[in-house]
Structure 1
Amino acid sequence: MSTELLTVRPDRELTDGETALLFRLLPPERRERLLRQHRAEQRREPLCAYGLLLLALRQRLGWRTLPPVDRGPGGKPFFPDFPAVHWNLSHTAGAVLAGVSDHPLGVDIEHFRPVTPRLMERLGADSAEEALRRWVRLEALAKQRGSGVLTVLNQPLTGAENASVHDLAVFPGCAAAAALGEGETPGRVQIWTLEALLDTLAENL
């Protein structure tokens, strides 16, 4: 099967009922971590990220719930009971990206923002926007590998690695990329509104 990529823009605060719905859908490990986060504004994007992941897995595999999550040596999350189901998540303030595939993948999304001259120089970029576009490509590749982005920054990329990373068209003001399996192309990213995501998840409980 091809890779599924989905994105949503949480453009408002969640209601108490919406927050409760998304908490119910979280895998246990992630629920415990988020419950320790007392600032509600820092829960919104992670909650939406796992809601988007569940939606992708319902579309692809008919799953009703998310199984337990573990982390590999590099910190990359995975489903230990379903190691052949590969997935990755990324979120920034007001934007979330999720990917599901039969092969290891990495995704990253960032808002355009000022960056330091040092980072621009290190990335070989002439502007903050160009630097962030290059950064999300490197971050996606690092997440596909299950390594830190500094590892990718400090090593020259092979032609195959460069070819595996694809820029994604998502929201204005955002840069996004996906690192996929050899020969894979991302296809069209499914763009969801927050209301459509929440309604679909609630209808299929």
Structure 2
Amino acid sequence: MTRLFAAQAAEDGASISAALLAEAVRAVWRLEALPETALGPQGKPFFPSHPALHFNLSHSGPYAFCALSDAPVGVDVERLRPRRAALAKRALSEEESAWYVSRGRRWEDFYTLWTCKEARVKCLGTGLIQAPASISVPLLESGAAAALDGLVFTTYAGEGYRAALCSPTDTAALEWFTFS
């Protein structure tokens, strides 16, 4: 089972990522202390003392996201902001680019695709070792889910962000934590 948690900080989501992970681990796996983390060869975090427990983190702007699962999982969140048009040309495949253009070159659509790409490579533990345009993802509207290549992609949208979850097993509802 996969669970997805998010929180919004006053300024920087990085500042609450560890607290979000600790709260999620406590809520889902009933572990009182956050296990020590380590990084795999391409930078994917894991718990060496609990190899069957999978997690992934992402933060952008004030947003922090944390996915927990009993299978490999990847999550990415991006704060919505305009970028140079050349970014879309470099990051998207021909099919993705045509879809993006047909939708009016909206940055919301670009970030939906981009977060799916990031979530995929994070789930697989490969990192961005290949050109982003060569990373296949489904063409999804925000809030939709679809399977591709044995992976399930779920997208999320909110005021100011787009996010995606990738897992070989299932989708997850987004649960928000509030820190005081």
Specify if TM > 0.5: yes
Aligned pairs, how many? 160
Contact 1:138 1:149 in 2 (8 A): no
Q: Over the residues paired in the alignment, what is the CA RMSD in angstroms?
A: 2.0
More strand by share: 2
**Shift of residue 156, structure 1, vs aligned partner:** 5.2
CA distance in 2, matches of 1:142, 1:152: 11
SS of the residue corresponding to residue 74 of structure 1 reads: coil
More helix by share: 1
Q: 1:54 to 1:172 in 2, by over 3 A?
A: same
CA distance in 1, matches of 2:79, 2:31: 31
CA distance in 2, matches of 1:162, 1:149: 19
Question: Equivalent residue for 2:161?
Answer: 174
Partner amino acid, structure 1, of 2:176: I
Contact 2:117 2:135 in 1 (8 A): no
In the alignment, structure 1 segments of 5+ residues that lack a partner are 13-43, 196-205
> TM-score when scaled to structure 2?
0.80
| 72, 91, 103: which one aligns with 1:104 | 72
**Shift of residue 181, structure 1, vs aligned partner:** 1.7
Structure with bigger gyration radius: 1
**Shift of residue 71, structure 1, vs aligned partner:** 0.9
Q: How does 1:166-205 map to 2 (within 5 A)?
A: 166-169=154-157, 171-182=158-169, 184-186=170-172, 188-195=173-180
**Shift of residue 3, structure 1, vs aligned partner:** 0.8
Which whole-Å deviations, capped at 9, do the CAs of 1:58-103 have from their partners, x for residues lacking one?
A: 1112111112111111111111111110000000111110010000
CA distance in 2, matches of 1:178, 1:3: 10
> TM-score when scaled to structure 1?
0.71
